[in-house]
Amino acid sequence: MTLNRTTDDVFLTTEEVLEYLHVNLRTVYRLIKAGKIPAVRVGRQWRFRRADLDAWLDNQRTSRAGETHTGEGRHKVLVVDDEEGIRDLLSRTLAMAHYDVDTTSDGMSALESIRNDGYKLVIADLRMPGMDGLTLIREVKQINPQLPIIIITGYSSESSAIEAVNLGVAGYLTKPVGIPQVLAAAAKALGVPAA
C-alpha cells in the first residue's frame, strides 16, 4: 500500500526552517515562544509542519496588504530585483521584521509603484535588464528626492559604488548579503531601531 503524502504532511527540522524562512535560530525560537508558528517537540529537536509555516507567511503578507505605515517601526518597502529568489528572500526577511513589503522585477514597474504607493524605502538590484539600478536611482530622486534607496548587488565595482553614493543612496550592500546586514541597512535608512 502506497501513501500519497501531501505538503500538509511534510515536517521540517529546525535547520530546514532556518533555510526555508531565511531567518536565524534566535528568530525561530522567538516565533515559537510567541506562538506565531506551531512546532512539535520530538526529543531534543523541534519539528515544523510546512503547511503551518506557509499559512503563517501568507497571514503575514495578508495582514500587511494595503498598509503604508501602521504603527511604530512598520514601513512600506519596495524590493526591486530581476531574480525571483532574491526578491522572495528579501520579502520574507523584511516581512518577518514587521515591514510591509511589495516586490517587482524591473525598474519601469518600480517607478510606477513608487509614483502610486507611498513607499518609505526602496531596495534595488544594481544590474537588471532594461533599466539598471543607477538609472532607477536617478528617476526615483526626481519623483521623491527624500525616498531612501539601498542598492544590493553581486557585481560591485568601485565606480558603480561611487556613483551610487554620489546619487545619494542610503546603503550599498554586496551579495551574498546576510539577513542582519539587510535589516541593519533598512533600519538605518529609515532611522528606526534595528529588528
pLDDT value, residue 186: 92
pLDDT tier at 5, thresholds 50, 70, 90? very low
State the sign of the Cα–Cα–Cα–Cα dihedral 70, 136, 108, 142: positive
Q: Which residue has the higher pLDDT, 67 or 105?
A: 105
3-state class (DSSP) for residue 11: strand
Q: Which residue has the higher pLDDT, 77 or 95?
A: 77
pLDDT tens for 146-163 read 999 999 888 767 788 888
Domain 66-190, second-level architecture: 3-Layer(aba) Sandwich (3.40)
Instruction: For residue 60, give every residue at least 6 positions away whose Cβ sits within 8 Å of its Cβ, in sequence order, or none.
Output: 95, 96
Set of cell numbers at residue 6: 501531501
Q: Residue 13 and residue 46: Cα distance in Å, rounded? A: 6
pLDDT value, residue 2: 43
pLDDT tier at 124, thresholds 50, 70, 90? very high
pLDDT value, residue 161: 82
pLDDT value, residue 3: 42
Instruction: For residue 173, give every residue at least 6 positions away whose Cβ sits within 8 Å of its Cβ, in sequence order, or none.
Output: 150, 151, 152, 153, 181, 182, 185
Q: Which residue stretches of the chain are H helix?
A: 14-21, 25-33, 50-64, 84-96, 107-116, 133-143, 158-166, 179-190
Domain with CATH 3.90.105 in the chain: 9-56
pLDDT value, residue 150: 95
Instruction: For residue 132, give every residue at least 6 positions away whose Cβ sits within 8 Å of its Cβ, in sequence order, or none.
Output: 107, 126
pLDDT value, residue 52: 81
Tell me if 150 sits within 8 A of 120, measured CB to CB.
no
**Strand-pair category, 121-125 with 76-80:** parallel
pLDDT value, residue 59: 67
DSSP 8: G
Domain with CATH 3.40.50.2300 in the chain: 66-190
Tell me if 94 sits within 8 A of 138, measured CB to CB.
no
pLDDT tier at 119, thresholds 50, 70, 90? very high
Task: Pick the range with the lowest mean pLDDT from 73-77, 129-133, 144-148.
Answer: 73-77
Tell me the CATH number of domain 9-56, given options 3.40.50, 1.10.510, 3.90.105, 3.90.930.
3.90.105
State the sign of the Cα–Cα–Cα–Cα dihedral 114, 101, 156, 145: positive
